Amino acid sequence: MTSTTRPAASAPAAMRESVRVSLGARSYDILIGPGLLAEAGAEIARRLPGIRALVVADERVAALHADRLSASLDAAGIAHSRLVLPAGEPTKSFAHLGEVVDRVLAERLERGDAVIALGGGVIGDLAGFAAGIVRRGMRFVQVPTSLLAQVDSSVGGKTGINSPRGKNLVGVFHQPALVLADTAILDTLSAREFAAGYAEVVKYGLIDRPDFFRWLGENREAIFAGGPERVEAIATSCRAKAEVVAGDEREDGNRALLNLGHTFGHALESCARYDAARLVHGEAVAIGMALAHRFSVAEGLCPAEDAAAVSAHLAAAGLPTTISAIPGPAFTVDELMDKIAQDKKVVRSALTFILTRGIGRAFVARDVDPASVRRFLAAEVGC
């Protein structure tokens, strides 16, 4: 279960939200709203008194935000150092994992100290994985700086790195002690980066919240512009994920629904060799969700008008919805099927997809016929 509370009086109530992820001894808060970066030190010190920390960030985020975080940590008396890594999906690698682990050990941080991830999903996944394995598990704080990270990757404790054989194939479940989602930081994102994160917001409506999907249709422009609608969209997304995680922490059941669009999407990212100039994660998820709905139509599960509405909404937000929209060399069906076969949801070689019976009616489809997927992709690749 989760709970939602209003913020302290230091900020307008309409502009701050707090979502509790209830996991017994591993429970934590997600704080959402503008100005939280400046309050990070105080919030962390309140929950983790006496810690030392390593802040991990990429080059782009460090240049924009690391000094403000350091000032906040200093003001709260939190001794810390900083590790800056290259930006981009290739940083989620064994080599950079080793770099984070070595720095934690070199700083003589103890199990009760913390790794603080300042960045998007790449840094959050990498730093969280390092925190989960060093000294058999250290504390971990997420300070997500992208919309995608604020509504998805920073919540739920899934951490990891990529393998040449596929995305997110190596990792652990390691819950953060706190998530601080400063919505004002999102104003520094490019239009492409914000739209990519918005794909994950839409996902929650498509899984089991059709009213939220309709609300997004009415408020999309206001969300992109900022203000209370943005905070509400992020809080609703975090609340939706927190409820699923609280009921299925280790993805043994319904948590798999959070992977709507990701089986196709991860295959596309892998085939694109994680080249951000061609495709970023949120764009891959957008295409993947559109594909999942169209595949559901092809399988006689979903009304065609619902699939069309999903594609239209994503396209209006500036997101791609077809494989052919990805620039660069075309993918082959064999390449895509090979990557799909490596998906984490595959069980004893049986394909598992998140399919749908309509908007807000997603379900886990196990033992999906590979021949049907191949025929569908052959038609899509040719579009």
- Report the catalytic residues: 136, 158, 200, 241, 251, 255, 259, 262, 266, 281
Residues 6+ apart with CB under 8 A from 379: none
Contact 302, 358 (CB under 8 A): yes
**Which residues line the annotated binding site for Zn(2+)?**
200, 262, 281
* Three-class DSSP category at 116: strand
**Which residues line the annotated binding site for NAD(+)?**
121-125, 145-146, 158, 167
* Three-class DSSP category at 361: coil
**Beta-bridge mates of residue 365:** 353
- Tokens, residue 359: 């908007």
Contact 186, 161 (CB under 8 A): no
- Tokens, residue 91: 């940083």
Q: How many angstroms separate the most distant Cα atoms in the chain? A: 60
Rounded-to-integer distance, Cα 84 and Cα 63, Å: 10
Locus of tokens 């770099």: 99
**Which residues line the annotated binding site?**
121-125, 145-146, 158, 167, 200, 262, 281
Contact 53, 78 (CB under 8 A): yes
Q: How many CB atoms lie within 10 A of CB 29?
A: 18
Q: How far is CA 139 from the centre of its chain?
A: 20
- Tokens, residue 58: 């990429």
* Three-class DSSP category at 98: helix
Contact 349, 338 (CB under 8 A): no
